[in-house]
Structure 1
Amino acid sequence: MCGFFVFNTGIVRIPVFQFSQCLVNVFLGTVEGISLKELEHDSDLFSADLNSAGANILSVSASVETMPQHYIYWEDPLESEFRVTVTSCRRTERGYEITIDEHVARPEGGGQAGDRGTLEVGGAIVRFVDTVEDNGSVVLICEAPAEEGAEASLKIDMHWRRSMMRNHSAEHLFVASMKRVHEGVELGYIWIDGDHGTVDVHGSDITFDEILRAERMVQDIVAQDLPVHTSYVTRDELDRSVRAREGVAQKHDEIRVVAFGDYDRSACSGTHVLSTGDIGLFKVINCKFHEDKVRVEFLTGESAVRLVSEVFNAVLVRKDSYPFELEQLGPILDRSKRVLTERNELVAKVEEMICTNPAWEKVGTAEFLAEYLPGFEPSDLRRIVKRFPLEGACAVLLFSPGRKSNLVFATNDMPREAREYVGPVVEELDGRGGGRGEVYTGGFTDVEDPFSLFDELQRRVRKRVSE
């Protein structure tokens, strides 16, 4: 799979997964050393067209062994319209629970969300936002009621279902890949819906590098466009070649097995793509490391492409103002982390100096202090005011400059509230703010000359304090 992206040197054809590794993984904690030149000359990494992640999913077929009473969403997950009968309808906290006779919408279960879609009943369109199972019956969680006994036309939300198919199949491939790169890992919590996938991989000392290696392995399988084959076995036929949750064989006489070529075979009740190429793009977007597991969140298909494009473009628009090469992103982020640490240390030192040795100025009967504090966030200003030693009649103005400038004004033992001293001045200078009692916070936008603004602000406030 390739995409077209604009570099400052022109338009080049880039393997989507390879540039996503180089860019998005930088923000996850690593950078793949891939140069623009390498990206330009490795454009045959994938054979599937980008559209295979979306609209053209219908063009791929799957091999399914048909057996009696197997759900239609297993055997033909792309069939989307059905005639159904409403057998009951009741109002609950979740909405209107409408039960139907037919098992055509997949209920939530096995770590996968339920189908969504619409019911057309008597010319009215009723949307259902989830599907659950209740004592073997299919229950649609609807936004409006439907008459019991009514015939209805049910339409599955195929964007939601196809996304779940991609995400669920990608989860299988990712766990199978993790088992190859880290011996002894086990599958834990899993949640798949139409937005993203989440999976817990249990094992000791799992590394970021191993997760990203597994990500690349998944994308290799996607590029191979392996067929996805569904079969059914009895509990006695279930062998060690099939990944299955503990206790599955004891709970079911017959077990559905989903196979991705020869790469992975797993017991599963979820909906899956028809071939691995339908996944389109697999991208890990977050990892949370715990003592004995890693929680991994990921995107697939159009959602993954959109995120990768957004990250890439965020980098692209900054290349002129802050020149760098693609492979420098990792070191740049490392450097920015060090700069942020140093900035926080500097803020702490300045804060300590202001609070322990304030440069008071006598204004009328009160003490007055105004500080111009570049690099300080609004939260820094509020924190300083809280710990500032305000004694007797006094007023403090703290100003953080920038295109968007912020201020905090605090008083003590003054005849009027803080906002009465600074509020009118801020408004006169086209700023906004508010507050009650002895603290006022405000700010200015589109500031071209912050220091001149501060100078005028503190001059006018000083005058009002002295009156």
Structure 2
Amino acid sequence: MTEKLYYQDSYLSEFEAKVLSCAQKGNKYEVVLSGTAFFPEGGGQTADTGILSEGEKTVQVLDVQEKEGILVHETDGPLTEGAWIKGKLNFQERFIKMQEHTGEHIVSGIVYKRFGYQNVGFHLGKEEVTMDYNGPLTEEELREIEYEANRAVAEDVPIVVLEPSREELKDIFYRSKMEIEGQVRIVQIPGYDSCACCAPHVKTTGSVGMIKITGAIRYKGGMRLSLHCGFRALLDYRQKETSVKQISNRLSAKQEEVFEAVKRMEQEIAALKEKNKKLQEKLVAAALKEEEKKLAEHAGANLILFVEDMDAAAMRNFVNEAMEKTEGVCGVFAGTEESGFRYVLGQREGSIHMIGKPLNEAFHGKGGGKPPMIQGSLKGNEEKIRAFLEETEG
């Protein structure tokens, strides 16, 4: 059994231990030590990382897994069996995990105490923390939970870790996602939570720092919350602060007025879209009138329009109206010969998809659809595309 030094002191960042075994596995090595401060993956939390040093030689600890009480360190190099080594954790990473995991306990304890919801899922990764609860929470309730959690931080409550006997366990209330065999380890935050947990935690709630719920979505009949605590909460705030500054500069608005500025921009965009829609309708009508002249000279002629820009709805409107005027191929090609064309093609009679496939093959295009209309994109010369459509029948 590996001695779990992180249970003796969760703030231990350096230690010495003996190499009990080292076995190569692929291009990595599996190292077992007499004792370790590296916490293995477990309880929804990823493993600690860091280094192991044997004299002048240093190897990276990439992962740690527990197998029947033995902790196996995955490293990028070998160590000598029987040698004494020094281990050093990436403690900044460890401390952030302890902040976030303790913060999760505080939030989950409050959710259980107030609403009776169980934490049925937990993940503490390198980017985010997520918690799944088996019941819904409103926005107002989430704000209240967040405020109470930060009050727990301000109270700087000492964290208590218990390893009770089976007899003592009968008189202790604690949350647990599963039935636990063997020794049960309970992490208590007096007044807020009592939960079975195998992970290391900070010593007092004050070390958690600010607790911020950053996201909440409906999930499997309950809620999935995203959380940041302490240094990660600070990093999250800085990133969002940078975004708000950049947006406020672009909008020439004060940071606290960004939302109103965005609303005004949305209204302006909506007005421009409506104006553009009317202009596109006029363009379609004018283009149809111009193309109809061909029908007077040649019944059943194709009605094909090439324009630099036209939105998808206007393109379809042109084709729909054009199909009422001719049995030929109707279409719009929007774009340029240099950048390529988006197209919509239709034909009242015939199999328009029989035209689309050879058209795409001839002009390096892609697309498809069902009669009477197809759409896609291609590259080619206007004159050659017109000639191709004149020669091809659907």
TM-score, structure 1 normalization: 0.60
Aligned to 1:224: 155
Amino acid at match of 1:251: E
Aligned to 2:181: 251
In our comparison, the structure showing a higher alpha carbon Rg is 2
- Tell me by how many angstroms 1:313 deviates: 3.1
- Tell me by how many angstroms 1:185 deviates: 0.8
Aligned to 1:428: none
Identical amino acids, percent of aligned pairs: 21
Please list every run of 5 or more consecutive structure 2 residues that lacks an aligned counterpart in the other structure. Answer: 292-301, 323-327, 344-355, 365-375, 388-394
Q: In 2 relative to 1, CA 128–344 (structure 1 residues): closer, same or farther, beyond 3 Å?
A: farther
- Tell me by how many angstroms 1:188 deviates: 0.6
Please list every run of 5 or more consecutive structure 1 residues that lacks an aligned counterpart in the other structure. Answer: 1-68, 400-405, 420-436, 442-460
CA distance in 1, matches of 2:110, 2:239: 27
- Selected match of 1:133 from 55, 61, 66: 66
Q: In 2 relative to 1, CA 297–337 (structure 1 residues): closer, same or farther, beyond 3 Å?
A: farther
- Tell me by how many angstroms 1:175 deviates: 0.6
- Tell me by how many angstroms 1:257 deviates: 2.5
Question: Quick check: 188-197 or 315-324, which moved more?
Answer: 315-324
Aligned to 1:397: 334
Matched, 1:192 2:124: yes
- Tell me by how many angstroms 1:289 deviates: 0.5
Aligned to 1:157: 90
- Tell me by how many angstroms 1:216 deviates: 1.8
Matched, 1:293 2:222: yes
Q: In 2 relative to 1, CA 388–287 (structure 1 residues): closer, same or farther, beyond 3 Å?
A: farther
What is the SS of the residue equivalent to 2:62?
Answer: strand
Q: Note the alpha carbon deviations across 1:411-443, whole angstroms, 9 max, x for none.
A: 788899658xxxxxxxxxxxxxxxxx96149xx
Aligned to 1:276: 205
Counterpart contact for 2:340–2:377, Cα < 8 Å: no
Amino acid at match of 1:216: Y
- Tell me by how many angstroms 1:247 deviates: 5.2
Counterpart contact for 1:177–1:218, Cα < 8 Å: yes
CA distance in 2, matches of 1:92, 1:343: 64
Matched, 1:84 2:14: no
What is the SS of the residue equivalent to 1:173?
Answer: helix
Q: In 2 relative to 1, CA 410–179 (structure 1 residues): closer, same or farther, beyond 3 Å?
A: closer
Counterpart contact for 2:102–2:201, Cα < 8 Å: yes
What is the SS of the residue equivalent to 1:251?
Answer: coil
Counterpart contact for 1:366–1:466, Cα < 8 Å: no
Q: Note the alpha carbon deviations across 1:316-348, whole angstroms, 9 max, x for none.
A: 3444553666666666677878888x6999699
CA distance in 2, matches of 1:415, 1:311: 45
CA distance in 2, matches of 1:370, 1:163: 57
Amino acid at match of 2:309: Y
Q: In 2 relative to 1, CA 232–438 (structure 1 residues): closer, same or farther, beyond 3 Å?
A: closer
Amino acid at match of 2:153: V
Q: In 2 relative to 1, CA 82–325 (structure 1 residues): closer, same or farther, beyond 3 Å?
A: same
Q: Give the aligned CA root-mean-square deviation in angstroms.
A: 4.5
Q: In 2 relative to 1, CA 152–321 (structure 1 residues): closer, same or farther, beyond 3 Å?
A: closer
- Tell me by how many angstroms 1:88 deviates: 2.7
- Tell me by how many angstroms 1:180 deviates: 4.0
- Tell me by how many angstroms 1:464 deviates: 9.5
Aligned to 2:39: 106
Q: In 2 relative to 1, CA 293–410 (structure 1 residues): closer, same or farther, beyond 3 Å?
A: closer
- Selected match of 1:211 from 129, 142, 150: 142
Q: In 2 relative to 1, CA 221–92 (structure 1 residues): closer, same or farther, beyond 3 Å?
A: same
Aligned to 1:8: none
Q: Which has the higher contact order (CA 8 A, sep 6+)?
A: 1
CA distance in 1, matches of 2:271, 2:122: 40
- For these two proteins, the number of residue pairs brought into alignment is 344
CA distance in 1, matches of 2:16, 2:198: 23
Listed as ranges, the matches of 1:415-454 within 5 Å are: 439-440=378-379
Matched, 1:359 2:287: yes
Counterpart contact for 2:110–2:193, Cα < 8 Å: no
CA distance in 2, matches of 1:164, 1:415: 54
Aligned to 1:262: 191
Aligned to 2:112: 179
Matched, 1:409 2:341: yes
Counterpart contact for 1:81–1:156, Cα < 8 Å: yes
- Tell me by how many angstroms 1:164 deviates: 1.0
CA distance in 2, matches of 1:344, 1:131: 57
CA distance in 2, matches of 1:438, 1:222: 58
- Tell me by how many angstroms 1:152 deviates: 2.2
CA distance in 1, matches of 2:255, 2:101: 32
Q: Note the alpha carbon deviations across 1:134-178, whole angstroms, 9 max, x for none.
A: 122110122233343333221111122111101110000011122
Amino acid at match of 1:197: V
Q: In 2 relative to 1, CA 323–256 (structure 1 residues): closer, same or farther, beyond 3 Å?
A: same
CA distance in 1, matches of 2:141, 2:167: 35
CA distance in 2, matches of 1:343, 1:188: 47
Q: In 2 relative to 1, CA 321–332 (structure 1 residues): closer, same or farther, beyond 3 Å?
A: closer
Aligned to 1:303: 232
What is the SS of the residue equivalent to 2:71?
Answer: strand
What is the SS of the residue equivalent to 1:226?
Answer: coil
What is the SS of the residue equivalent to 2:6?
Answer: helix
Counterpart contact for 1:116–1:130, Cα < 8 Å: yes
What is the SS of the residue equivalent to 2:42?
Answer: coil
CA distance in 2, matches of 1:140, 1:98: 5
